Amino acid sequence: MAGMSPALRAHARAKVNLSLEVVGRRDDGYHDLVSVMQTLSLADTLTIEEAAELTFYCSDSELDTSDNLVVRAARLLRSRCNVSRGCSMYLQKEIPASAGLGGGSSDAAAALAALNTFWNAGATCSDLCAMAEELGSDVPFFLYGGTSLVRGRGEKVTRLRDPRPAWYVLANPGVPARTADVFSALSPDEWTSGEATLAMAMSISGDGRSTLLGVNGLEPSLFRINREAKECFDLVSSLASGRAIVAGSGPTVVAGSDTEESAMEIARLLTGRVPWVRVARSHSPAPGELPCA
């Protein structure tokens, strides 16, 4: 048919926070953060096809709803860019929900970027960032991807040089953590200056070598409200020479490794003891793969 756009398939990658500090609370109730974020090979897949109306299907029935962030992203882009076309969207989930891995936020960013292309909507990187920020604090980062320094509520993103490739063991205890609950359990005396995370960002920019894990200022509050996350953290730490960190607001626990073999070995030891275990590689977007990369 004339004017039909070919189907488009986009990856929505998971992230880990290699370091995350909460530095204060803002007048709007959100918190100011300093974080180094890293996209991973683990990804959901969003497939977009021509259709008269806006329709959405998801492989996970619990997420197959009309208020899914993917649908909200599509509606937002459509109204901001005066698009009158529809599309059918299918989201194949691989990233667990409410896990700290940014799945929902990444899906939303992938929808914005892919539909901007599919509909030829003409939004610039900065237009897309403004829409991303409205959809959620972590969404702007996913328009950049790779290794990025993220500040403010999450909207100030600076792409860093790619560090050496690394492998990450991801262990999810299977008891979801609501981000809002983790932030509200945090006490102001647990805020930090952000310096440890900025130092990590500098060292990544400087020599491109760092695969180290930094700090996560949300761990104390998460562990107070989610016992399973603390148990999972202790288990992963014990298998990974004491080096583990919670991803974002959790409850997924991350261990890093320079080699795939040692990551696989830790994952093997965790299998059967934690409900969901994966090994993922760090991922840097190719030029043009993401709208702001």
Cβ burial of 188 (10 Å; 0-12, 13-18, 19+) is exposed
93, 107, 138, 230: the active-site residue = 138
**Residue of 15, 93, 107, 230 with catalytic role:** 15
Estimate the share of the chain in helix, then strand, then coil, as percent rounded to the nearest 5.
35, 30, 40
Q: Are 153 and 83 in contact (CB under 8 A)?
A: no
Q: How far is the CB of 258 from ligand C5P (least distance, A)?
A: 31
Closest CA to 160 of 109, 215, 102, 209: 209
Q: Give exposure, 227-236, as e/b (b: 16+ Cβ within 10 Å).
A: ebbbbbbebb
**Residue 179 or 211: which CB sits closer to ligand C5P?**
179
The answer to whether residue 107 is catalytic is: no
Planar angle of CA 110, 113, 117, nearest 5 degrees: 130
Cβ proximity to ligand C5P, 31 vs 78, nearer residue: 31
Beta strands in 197-289 (DSSP E): 245-246, 253-257, 276-281
Which residues bind to ligand C5P, rule: CB under 6 A?
Answer: 30-31, 33, 136-138, 153-154, 179-180, 183
Closer to ligand C5P at the Cβ: 251 or 256?
251
**138 is known as an active-site residue:** yes
- Of the pair 31, 93, the CB lying nearest ligand C5P is at 31
Residues known to be catalytic: 15, 138
